Amino acid sequence: MTRGMPPKGLVRKALSRVPEFREFLLVEELYESSRRLVEKHGDVAERVEVGESRAGLPVEALILRGGEEKTVLAYAFPHPNEPVGSLTLEVLTWILARDREFLKGLNATWIVVKVADVYGALLNEGWFKGPFTLEKYLLNYYRPPPYKQVEWTFPIEYKTLRWDKPTPETRALMKLIDGWRPTHLYSLHNSYFTGTFYYVSRKPPAHVMEMLAEVPRSLGVPLHKGAPEAPYMKKLGEGVFTMYSIVDEYDWLEKHSGRDPAEVLRVGDNGYGYARRANPGVFAMICEVPYIYDDRLDNPTRIGIPLREIYRLTQERGRENLEEMRGFTEKVDPHVSPDNPYYEGWREFLEYLESYDKASEGWLEEKPGLDKPATVAQALHAYMTTVWERMAFYSRMYKALAYEEKRGRRVPPGLKEEALARMRRNLEFFENLVEYRVIPVESLVKIQLAAVISTVAQSPA
C-alpha cells in the first residue's frame, strides 16, 4: 500500500482481514485483546486508562500513532445494547498495529475506546454469546435512561437548557476530546429495524458516498429507505443525513411543542456537539447498522397511500402505545426501587414521549412533501417501529421486576409473568409480519470499517 492508494483500495484491503465473527466479545475479552496488542506492538500502541466507569472498571483507550496529519477518536458502545462497533474497533486496531504501511499511509493518530459505556455493556452481556435471536436479545437488553447515557450527557448551555451532569464514562470521553481535539470523530451505533444509514457533519465526496452505499448493498444490508430517526434530521442522500446535536432537537421542540424544551429534554449534548466546540472543523460520523433485515425495507414500490397518512396512522398507534405503557407502568411502579437500572427514569421518559408526540403532530401538518405516495419500505418501517417499541417496553418491565425479585423484594404474583407474556405476544406479532434474517456479525463490522477507513483516507484534517 502507498499513501496514494485510493479509499476503495484501502477499504478492500481492510475488509479482506475481517474474521468470521459469530458472536460478540465480552468487556473483559475486549480489554484482554487490547493488553495483548500493546504487548506485541508497543512501539506504535499504548493503552491508557482515561476514567472510571459506573461499574468500577476503568474506561480504557488504545492510542496508535501513525502520523500527525489527523487525529481520530472512535468509540463503541455509545449505547450499551450496541456492541457491533466494539468488534469494528477490535479489527481496526489489529490491522493498524500489524500493518505499518497501512497505519502510516493513513497518516493519523488513533484514539480508540472499544467500550464507552462499561456499566451498561456488562448488563447486556447475556445476549452476546451464541446465535442471535430476538427473544434472547429482549430478555437480556439494558439501556440506561437518557440522563445516564454516555452519548447524551455532555455539558451544554443553550438558550434555557443547562446541563452539567456528565456520567463518569462521558467525562472520560470529554478528557480525550479536550486533550486531543480530534479532527475526526466516529460514534459506532446499532439500529433495530432499518437498513444501513449514516450521519455526517459534512457530505463526503461523491466517490466516498458511492462506497458508503456499495459496501452495505454488497453485504445484504442496503441503505435505509425509511424515515430518519427524528423529523429534524436532514437528508443529504439515500441513507445519509446531517449530523445532529441536542441543539437541533431543542430548536425543533421549541417550534412545535409549545413548551420550554429544557423541561422536556433534561439531558446534555452528544459527542459531536461537544467535539465541535473543541475543534469546529471536526469531521464526525455515526454509522448505524441493524441486527436483522427484511428485504422489503429496500422496496421502492409506491402503495397508493400518502406518506403523510402513513405517519398519521403511525402516530395514532404511538399514542395507543403510550396509553398502554402508562397503564402498565402504574401497575409496576409501586413494586420497583428508584435505583432499579431497568426502570430508573422510565416515568420521565414517558413524559418526554408525550411532549415529542405533541410536537410531531404540529410538524406533520406543516411539513411539505409528505403527500406523495409512500413506498413499501417507508410504510413497513413506520409501522413496525411501533411494534418494536412495545416489545422493548415489556422486556424492560419484565427485567425490572425480575431484578427486584432477585434482590429479595416481593413482587405481586403474576405481574412479572404478565410482562413476559405481553412481550412474547408482540414478538410473535412482529415475527409473523416481518420476513427478517439475522445479519452475519462480520457483515456489520465490514460496513462500519469501510465507513471509517474511507472517510479518514479521503477527508483532510
pLDDT tier for residue 368 given thresholds of 50, 70 and 90: confident
- 59 forms beta bridges with 51
Decide: 187 and 154 in contact? Cβ < 8 Å.
no
Q: Give pLDDT tens digits for 391-400.
A: 999 999 999 9
Reply yes or no on whether the pLDDT at 5 is more than 70.
no
Any idea where the domains of the chain sit in the sequence? 7-291+440-458, 297-438
- More confident: 350 or 288: 288
Please enumerate in sequence order all residues whose Cβ is within 8 A of that of 400, keeping only pairs 6 or more positions apart, or say none.
332, 336, 340, 342, 343, 346
pLDDT at 229 over 90: no
Instruction: Kindly indicate the confidence band of residue 185, based on its pLDDT and cuts at 50, 70 and 90.
Output: very high
| Residue carrying C-alpha cell 409473568 | 417
Q: How confident is the model at residue 347 (pLDDT cuts 50, 70, 90)?
A: confident
Average of pLDDT values for 167-175?
Answer: 98
Average pLDDT of every residue of the chain: 95
Q: Are 251 and 230 in contact (CB under 8 A)?
A: no
For 269-314, the pLDDT digits (tens) are 999 999 999 999 999 999 999 999 999 999 999 999 999 999 999 9
The residue type of 170 is T
pLDDT in tens, 94-141: 999 999 999 999 999 999 999 999 999 999 999 999 999 999 999 999
pLDDT band at 355; cut points 50, 70, 90: confident
Contact 66, 108 (CB under 8 A): yes
> Is the domain covering 7-291+440-458 a CATH 3.40.630.10 domain?
yes
Segment 394-421 mean pLDDT: 97
Q: How confident is the model at residue 227 (pLDDT cuts 50, 70, 90)?
A: confident
For the cut 80, the answer to whether the pLDDT of residue 257 exceeds it is yes
Q: Is the pLDDT of residue 182 over 90?
A: yes
Q: In angstroms, rounded to a whole number, what is the distance separating the alpha carbons of residues 106 and 108?
A: 6
Beta bridge partners of 350: none
- pLDDT value of residue 2: 39
The answer to whether the CB of 324 falls within 8 A of the CB of 217 is no
CA–CA distance, 100 with 332 (Å, rounded to integer): 56
Predicted confidence band of residue 1 (pLDDT cuts 50, 70, 90): very low
The predicted structure's pLDDT at residue 301: 96
Q: Which residues of 16-53 are buried (b: 16+ CB within 10 A; e: fewer)?
A: eebeebeebbbbeebbebbeebbeebeebbebeebbeb
What's the CA gap between 237 and 264, in Å, rounded? Answer: 31
State yes or no: pLDDT of 12 exceeds 50: yes
Q: pTM (2 decimals)?
A: 0.96
For the chain, percent of residues with pLDDT exceeding 70: 98
Say what percent of the chain tops pLDDT 90.
89
Contact 128, 25 (CB under 8 A): yes
pLDDT greater than 90 at residue 361: no
Q: In the prediction, which pLDDT does 21 show? A: 94
